């Protein structure tokens, strides 16, 4: 699993990558951001740090679910990786309900933040790290532009520095969050052979959630508690 969090006010960030036993990797990312001089810890070192911080460590079997096992078995010998929420089956509940989780948030003082947590792609190579814990690729927040969390084929999000690319379009080109997020998600990422979606939010609370997969579970909650959710268009 990989996870990252970023604070748009201070540009401080924390991430863990390739962890197998931390029950809530996003909590370890927050602990790295707050208590460690580094930004990204990987593998056993990250697990040891999480344990030292008093975070819950579980057996790997905790993460095994029947649906995910079926997904893996379906493509195990294909030598390909697959988005866990885009397998093209007719069972969206099985394939979409437990994908990468991302969040972007804005507080009353105009502070932005972003977080992303993932199990990565189905059938990924052992040791493979995706975009989620890479600051600027799958996760980014800067009060001066936007907060972004991405989901999709991580390699293309890393190569395009996706989340920062969206922030840069807002910051340097003056694009709206909608235009910047849509352009990167629907043009830049597919041009690299990738696919996925992002959630992006600016300092005024304007947001965009473009994607090019079959669907993307997404929702928002406003300060008055009003909430909305969507799956498909
Ligand atoms: N972006 C994640 C990765 O490549 C996977 C996902 O979003 O489903 O690891």
**Tens-digit pLDDT profile for residues 14-54:** 999 999 999 999 999 999 999 988 999 999 999 999 999 99
pLDDT tens digits, 102-122:
999 999 999 999 999 999 998
Predicted confidence (pLDDT) at residue 90 exceeds the cutoff of 50 = no
Distance 9 CA to ligand 1 centre (A): 26
Question: How far does the centroid of ligand 1 lie from the alpha carbon of residue 152, in Å?
Answer: 5
Q: How far apart are alpha carbons 222 and 225 in whole angstroms?
A: 5
How far away, in angstroms, is 72 Cα from ligand 1 center?
15
| Alpha carbon of 111 to ligand 1 centroid (Å) | 26
pTM: 0.93
Q: How far apart are CA 6 and CA 198, in angstroms?
A: 15
Query: Which member of 61, 65, 100, 187 is catalytic?
Result: 100
Compute the distance between CA of residue 194 and CA of residue 58 in angstroms, rounded to an integer.
Answer: 33
Topology at the third CATH level for domain 1-233: 3.60.20
Q: What would the mean pLDDT of 128-137 be, rounded to a whole number?
A: 98
- Of ligand 1's atoms, which has the minimum distance to the CA of residue 85? 8
Q: Is the pLDDT of residue 79 over 80?
A: no
| DSSP output for 70-136 | HHHHHHGGGT--B-TT----S-HHHHHTTS-EEEEEE-TTS-EEEEEEE--SBTPPTT---STTSBT
- Count of CB atoms situated within 10 Å of the CB of 130: 28
Q: Is residue 134 predicted with pLDDT exceeding 80?
A: yes
Q: pLDDT band at residue 85, thresholds of 50, 70 and 90?
A: low
Task: Choose one of 154, 158, 198, 212 to mutate for the ligand 1 pocket test, by most ligand atoms within 8 angstroms of C-beta.
Answer: 154
The predicted pLDDT at position 5 comes to: 98
CA of 154 to the centre of ligand 1 (A): 5
Pocket residue to mutate for ligand 1, from 151, 159, 162, 209, most atoms within 8 A of Cβ: 151
Q: How far apart are CA 62 and CA 188, in angstroms?
A: 37
What pLDDT shows up at residue 229? 97
Q: Is 100 a catalytic residue?
A: yes
> For ligand 1, what atom is nearest to the CA of residue 151?
7
Pocket around ligand 1 at a 6 A CB cut-off: 83-84, 99-100, 118, 120-121, 130-132, 138, 151-154
């Amino acid at each position: 699993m990989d996870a990252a969090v970023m604070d748009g006010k201070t540009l401080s960030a924390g991430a863990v990558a390739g962890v197998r036993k931390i029950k809530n990797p996003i909590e370890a990312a927050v602990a790295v951001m707050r208590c460690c001089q580094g930004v990204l810890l990987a593998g056993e070192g990250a697990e040891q740090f999480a344990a030292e911080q008093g975070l819950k460590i579980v057996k790997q079997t905790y993460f095994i679910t029947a649906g995910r096992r079926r997904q893996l078995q379906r493509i195990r010998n294909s030598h390909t990786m697959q988005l866990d929420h885009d397998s093209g089956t007719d069972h969206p509940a099985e394939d979409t309900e437990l994908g990468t989780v991302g969040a972007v948030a804005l507080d009353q003082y105009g502070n932005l933040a972003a977080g992303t947590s993932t199990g990565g792609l189905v059938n990924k190579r052992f040791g493979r790290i995706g975009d989620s814990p890479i600051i600027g690729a799958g996760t980014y927040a800067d009060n001066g532009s936007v907060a972004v969390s991405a989901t999709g084929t991580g390699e293309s999000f890393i190569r395009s520095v996706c989340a920062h690319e969206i922030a840069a379009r807002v910051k340097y080109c003056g694009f709206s969050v909608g235009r910047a997020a849509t352009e990167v998600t629907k043009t830049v990422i597919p041009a690299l052979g990738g696919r996925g979606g992002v959630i992006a939010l600016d300092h005024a609370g304007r947001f965009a959630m473009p994607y090019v997969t079959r669907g993307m579970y997404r929702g928002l909650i406003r300060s008055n508690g009003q909430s909305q959710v969507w799956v498909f268009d």
